Amino acid sequence: MPRQRLGIVFQDIKLLQSKTLEENIAFSLEILGKEDKEIKETTDYLLNLVKLENRKSLFPVQLSGGEQQRGAIARALASNPDLLVADEPTGNLDPDSSFQILDILKNINKSGTTVMVISHDKQIVDFMKTRVIRIENGKIVSDNKGDYNTIRKPKKVVTQIKTEDEKKVEDNKNKQEDTKPEEETKVSEDIKDLDKKVLKKLTKAKITNMDMILKLTEDDLKNMKINEEEQDILEDFVREYLNKSKKE
């Protein structure tokens, strides 16, 4: 992943003390070589996103800890990253400010950006109610959803070595399935460029447009037998669609 597609929110914030909040965000866009008009529009949008439009002319020392952290999030989003990494984003904040930050991160995630939060705080993990990966002594000991205390070991990837006869049987089975006549299902323009295998499974379940995809749950994906690799493909496609829609 190119560095420009990665946004980082540091534990110690790292806002430039000699620049106002607005200048901190604009500076990161200047480094990327953006035009003045785009810098102004993007900066205003991000300040509004983190609800700091009325604090833009203040220097970091004039902002509260929560405001500084929200400003750091806005700066990290300036490059429109695919992945936002937040290292202990609420470590030095009071509970109210902490939950404000978490709400902002959840909304950013809903808009299509992958958000990775690094934290030792159990309350934060339980509040986010999302995928939880626990690491102890440098090793992943649990990969669970939405709960700090539940330990669920990561799935092991099993490589199955098949005999030549088994391979031939499987190939013949796949060919037969591919040649079966299927009732043609029309899909909308917004998903016609989706990976063919994923699209085939979606259309089989009568999922024919992006609005229907956005409403899918994990149970729905399991019922359609969409595997982890295909889920990643689908998530990337949705993320790209949402980012494109946001720009338009």
The domain boundary, picked from 108, 128, 148, lies at 128
pLDDT above 70 covers a percentage of the chain that reads 87
What pLDDT is recorded for position 192?
A: 84
Examine the domain organization and report whether 120 and 30 are in the same domain.
yes
What pLDDT is recorded for position 27?
A: 93
What average pLDDT does the segment 44-65 reach?
93
Residue 55 lies in a domain: yes
pLDDT for 18 beyond 90: yes
- pLDDT higher at 117 or 1: 117
Domain limits for position 235? 184-247
Examine the domain organization and report whether 124 and 208 are in the same domain.
no
The domain boundary, picked from 128, 146, 166, lies at 128
Examine the domain organization and report whether 29 and 95 are in the same domain.
yes
What is the band of 44 on the pLDDT scale with cuts at 50, 70, 90? very high
When mean pLDDT is compared across 162-171, 180-189, 211-220, 222-231, the lowest value belongs to: 180-189
Residue 143 lies in a domain: no
Examine the domain organization and report whether 123 and 30 are in the same domain.
yes
Burial 198-210 (b: 16+ CB within 10 A, else e): bbebbbebebbeb
Contact present, 8 and 78 (Cβ < 8 Å) = no
Residue 134 lies in a domain: no
Q: Average pLDDT of the chain?
A: 83
- pLDDT higher at 163 or 206: 206
Examine the domain organization and report whether 189 and 86 are in the same domain.
no
What pLDDT is recorded for position 141?
A: 85
* Count of domains for the chain: 2
Q: What is the CATH number of the domain that holds 26?
A: 3.40.50.300
Residue 188 lies in a domain: yes
* Per-residue pLDDT tens digits for 24-36: 999 989 988 899 9
pLDDT for 183 beyond 80: no
Q: What is the DSSP string of the chain?
A: --GGGEEEE-TT----TTS-HHHHHHHHHHHTT--HHHHHHHHHHHHHHTT-GGGTTS-GGGS-HHHHHHHHHHHHTTT--SEEEEESTTTTS-HHHHHHHHHHHHHHHHTT-EEEEE---HHHHHHH-SEEEEEETTEEEEEEES-SS---PPPP-------HHHHHHHHHHHHHHHHS--------GGGTTS-HHHHHHHHHTT--SHHHHHT--HHHHHHTT--HHHHHHHHHHHHHHHHHHHH-
Residue 140 lies in a domain: no
* Per-residue pLDDT tens digits for 93-123: 888 888 888 888 888 888 888 999 988 888 8
